[in-house]
Structure 1
Amino acid sequence: MKKSILAILTVVTIAFTSCTSDNPETTTPSNTFDLKVDDLKGEITNNETVTLDATKTYTLTGGLIVRSGASLIIPAGTTIKSDPTADTEKAKTIFIAIERGAKIFVNGTATKPVVMTSGKTAPTEGNWGGLIICGDAKVNTGDNGTSEVGGLLYGGNNNADSSGKITYLKISYTGSKFSDSKEYNGVSFFGVGSGTEVSNIYTFESGDDAVEFFGGAVNASKLVLVNSYDDSLDYADGYIGTITDVYINGVSFGGVEGSNNGQNDIALPMTDAKILNMSIVKGTATKFTASEKAINFKEGGGKQTYTNLFVDGIAIFAKLDSNTGATARIAAGDFKVNGANFVTANNTTAVYVTNQTGAGAGASLPSWADWTK
């Protein structure tokens, strides 16, 4: 009896194996991205998570795009350098971009920051693009905007959306010129939600803005923005959030450019930015002229509140949009500086920054930013 049962089981097993071998189950490989240390570029797809190796120095040779559902993890101490042979034309194709629905985790520490920089022997601003992050939060230019460079969709209705985490990032020599009217920033946030963690970013020698927020609701803290060749900090398109502890040095145009909407200066949701503890230092080099003042209140301005703001070397406090949207915001007391409503007649730094310490140390680099040295 036992032998008969075993024989039957053997026949069944053979038959089952024979049938299934003719119709093998199709599976998606868990890892499809070709990660090359000396040729980092391409698209991370298929809900894949790619983790870089902190013991290696990566050469970014083109666009690295993380598509929706996928993730990129960059451990503490990782260094990424742009292609050292890239000319001006190729430089505009070298960037890192996070698509709406994807995530990036820049997991630096004070002693082991993540570094993204130029690979050239004699680096200069504009050697490569920069870091672009797109999210699903609200913007006042529409729910499906296209990023200024990179051509990625951004914006939606989820202000709590998460695009991951960025902490202790040193990013330098960014801002390559994409076209006559478009340049990369150091870090660009397009419709990024408040579920994203952003802290301790150091930008250096950015060919355009250092950090820019296009709408969204992400908060940020501890930004050190040094030598930017457009604006240092820029927010627009209905950005709603709080930015805490900002140290700016080396201002070409505006220390801050804050606006509502370039096409409709009263568009909703209206920009509502709160900046706490900021130092804006013009810088001593002749190229740092601060031609658009400490604050460029632009394109309707929206609501802007600055608390503990210190300014050094800039005599006129703000450049003001004269259109009705901006003048209405100023008249309504929506432009607040160090506890006072901005008054056009008193547009000087002497009025607005008396006895302020800004990011913690007036014109000097604050102690919390010692990790950037």
Structure 2
Amino acid sequence: MKKNTLKLLAAAFIMSTTAVVFHSCSDSDDEELIITNPGSGAASDPNNFKGEIKSGETVTLDATKLYKLTGALKVKAGGTLIIPAGTRIEANGGTSAYILVEQDGKIFANGTATSPVVLTAPAPTPGSWGGLVICGKAPINRGSTATSEVGEAIYGGTVSNDNSGSLKFVRIEYAGAVYTGTKEFNGLSLFGVGSGTTIDNVSMINGTDDGIEFFGGTVNVSNIISVGNEDDAFDWTEGWNGTATNIYTKRRTTGVGNRGIEADNNADNKDANPRSNPTIKNATFIGATSGEADGLKLREGTYASIDNVVLSNWTTGINVEHDQSVTYFNGQNKITKVKFDNVTTKASVKATTGSAAATLLPNTYTEDATATGAGSGTATPTWAAGWAGI
């Protein structure tokens, strides 16, 4: 704690106009004193919340104020955005309004079960804003680095344990949009995010594109809710290697939406490394039998280990496509303890050419009628109560 002594002395001279915030460092039991001014820079006008948080700046929002996101808010390298429990941010700028955390920038949005951080829109209209985007320095298979679909920020690198901050008890509503054929805004987009980042108890509700999408990286997530989004609920590509524990997803009752999981390695090179190979455990995917009604679509060379899953109301429960993924999953017992509920075809496999693979082998999946999925079968899990917006 010696390093705080001089900072505390310095803070004494400016306490009358400056807020003082403590937070723990990710790689030490020591604490770092951060001197901030919540009324400066990008946060100076809560009714026009946008701009940049530059290197050396820490902006702490005031949970008693409503922030209106009117354009892009970018946390640059060396900048920090702190969003306390109970803070509400309303965005209504379409694809021009989004929050982007660039490489070496940090966000700490730490709500509680009774006082979540809410990123939403003033009206319940899907596609009202661009969502939350985080770019890290963890490995991807699109190249050594790449440029994000949203915000055109660099992501990827060699830092597997890269730390972009923390999201806890955060609700993201009415985000996402298809900007062009190659640019899509999700509720939460994770580009090359590292395992030093904490993502726990986060919900994506009623978005226009995917609920959550991983573009490579090594980040681990837990207690994830993705409900009412118009594209896929849970999506990965470009070599994501992390774990996801406790996932609950549900399509809209109108049938709008696509798959529970859409999983790719790399569409241009199905053997690209690092290969997508996450571990998915304790998950419920509730669908509709219209549209692209696959509970799990595993393709483009992706690998994965999937356990304790409830698949409900899908035309096809498990759909594996392309030779590399078929070879990995077909008959290999990589998908275990699955409960099927109102699923027309439990599983199918297709070769890269699109023709049906020769045979769906035994032990491609194992069934278990006692599987609990996200915790409560098809019912809303108890851990989502009070904060998730469902």
Give the Cα–Cα distance (whole angstroms) in 2 for the partners of residues 249 and 339 of structure 1.
17
Equivalent residues of 2:47, 2:67 under 8 A apart? yes
Q: Would you say 1:116 and 2:119 are equivalent positions?
A: yes
What is the TM-score of this pair, normalised by structure 2? 0.79
Residue identity opposite 2:287 in structure 1: K
Give the Cα–Cα distance (whole angstroms) in 1 for the partners of residues 131 and 63 of structure 2.
20
Decide which of 105, 109, 114 is 1:106's aligned counterpart: 109
Decide which of 57, 63, 67 is 2:72's aligned counterpart: 63
Give the Cα–Cα distance (whole angstroms) in 2 for the partners of residues 355 and 147 of structure 1.
41
Residue identity opposite 2:237 in structure 1: A
Give the Cα–Cα distance (whole angstroms) in 2 for the partners of residues 290 and 114 of structure 1.
33
Which consecutive unaligned segments of at least 5 residues does structure 2 have?
A: 1-34, 340-346, 350-359
Alignment of 1:109-188 (within 5 A): 109-120=112-123, 123-188=124-189
Q: Would you say 1:363 and 2:378 are equivalent positions?
A: yes
List per-residue Cα deviations over 1:208-265 (Å, max 9, x = no partner).
Answer: 1101111100100001111111100011111111100011111621100111111100
Residue identity opposite 1:316 in structure 2: T
List per-residue Cα deviations over 1:38-79 (Å, max 9, x = no partner).
Answer: 000111103210000000000000000000010000000000
Identity of aligned residues (%): 37
Give the Cα–Cα distance (whole angstroms) in 2 for the partners of residues 307 and 290 of structure 1.
26
SS of residue in 2 equivalent to 1:157: coil
SS of residue in 2 equivalent to 1:289: coil
How far the C-alpha of 1:353 sits from its partner, in A, is: 5.3
Match of 1:336 in 2: 335
Match of 1:259 in 2: 264
SS of residue in 1 equivalent to 2:47: coil
Equivalent residues of 1:290, 1:314 under 8 A apart? no
Give the Cα–Cα distance (whole angstroms) in 1 for the partners of residues 280 and 365 of structure 2.
19
Equivalent residues of 1:292, 1:318 under 8 A apart? no
What is the TM-score of this pair, normalised by structure 1? 0.83
Equivalent residues of 2:320, 2:348 under 8 A apart? no
Q: How many pairs does the alignment contain?
A: 330
SS of residue in 2 equivalent to 1:38: helix
Runs of 4+ in 1 over 6 A off after TM superposition: 29-32
Residue identity opposite 1:257 in structure 2: E
How far the C-alpha of 1:326 sits from its partner, in A, is: 2.0
Give the Cα–Cα distance (whole angstroms) in 1 for the partners of residues 48 and 219 of structure 2.
32
Q: Would you say 1:33 and 2:41 are equivalent positions?
A: yes
List per-residue Cα deviations over 1:169-194 (Å, max 9, x = no partner).
Answer: 01100012322332200001100000
Equivalent residues of 1:330, 1:343 under 8 A apart? no
How far the C-alpha of 1:351 sits from its partner, in A, is: 6.3
Q: Would you say 1:189 and 2:190 are equivalent positions?
A: yes
Give the Cα–Cα distance (whole angstroms) in 1 for the partners of residues 210 and 153 of structure 2.
19
Equivalent residues of 2:293, 2:314 under 8 A apart? no
Match of 1:273 in 2: 278
Give the Cα–Cα distance (whole angstroms) in 2 for the partners of residues 116 and 130 of structure 1.
8
Residue identity opposite 1:360 in structure 2: G
Match of 2:356 in 1: none
Give the Cα–Cα distance (whole angstroms) in 1 for the partners of residues 336 and 238 of structure 2.
21
Give the Cα–Cα distance (whole angstroms) in 1 for the partners of residues 330 and 365 of structure 2.
21
Give the Cα–Cα distance (whole angstroms) in 2 for the partners of residues 65 and 163 of structure 1.
13
Equivalent residues of 2:338, 2:367 under 8 A apart? no
Match of 1:316 in 2: 316
Match of 1:299 in 2: 300
Q: Which has the higher helix share?
A: 1
Task: Assess, with a 3 A threshold, how the Cα gap between structure 1 residues 69 and 273 changes in structure 2: closer, same or farther.
Answer: same
Which consecutive unaligned segments of at least 5 residues does structure 1 have?
A: 1-28
SS of residue in 2 equivalent to 1:294: strand
Residue identity opposite 2:118 in structure 1: V
Equivalent residues of 2:331, 2:361 under 8 A apart? no
Q: Which has the higher strand share?
A: 2
Give the Cα–Cα distance (whole angstroms) in 2 for the partners of residues 47 and 333 of structure 1.
50
